[in-house]
Amino acid sequence: MVATDTQLLYTPAQRARRDATAWTWVQGVLAPVQFVVFLISLYLVVQSLQTGEHTDWALASVVVKTVVLYAIMITGAIWEKVVFGQYLFAPAFFWEDVVSMGVLALHTAYLWVWWQGLWRPNEQLLLALAAYLTYGINAAQYIRKLRMARLQKNHPVSSFTGAEVSP
């Protein structure tokens, strides 16, 4: 079952596990760090594509962004295991995880062509932009879920279906 807008993200037990685990804090720190690294790298990539200058900095910044991405993906899978009992594709975060796989694939492809020197630098940077586009979509998905979780924070629930408990 995949969660929808009408369903709550967490059962009371899942919410308690989410609030109790240090992995929630780790994700809360890594997410903004990754976003700042992304913004800096995006700036460097776009500047390099426009001017042809500082290409080495731009290429390296994508590697740094990818390392941070791997860190947040690994710790996020651990968080998902603690909270939902499975490393990936828990119903509440199914589509975010699906898109995350595409994000990982594009970033990993970038690392491969960069490491092997298979493409020209501008082509590598264009691949990075494609990876960054998918990352932007994925970040928006997670921000939406964070907002949903905050809106549902005090919502009484009897099950994951979103059925309200009568007062």
- Domain map of the chain by residue range? 12-151
Mean pLDDT of the residues in the chain: 89
Q: Note the pTM of the prediction, 2 decimals.
A: 0.84
The 8 Å CB, 24+ separation contacts for 91-94 are 91/1, 91/2, 91/3, 91/160, 92/3, 92/7, 92/9, 92/10, 92/14, 92/145, 93/3, 93/145, 94/2, 94/3
- pLDDT confidence of residue 29: 95
Task: Please check the confidence at residue 69 and state whether its pLDDT lies above 90.
Answer: yes
Query: What pLDDT shows up at residue 4?
Result: 47
* 53 vs 151, more confident: 53
Give the whole-number percent of the chain exceeding pLDDT 90. 80
User: Residue 100: which pLDDT band, with cuts at 50, 70 and 90?
Assistant: very high
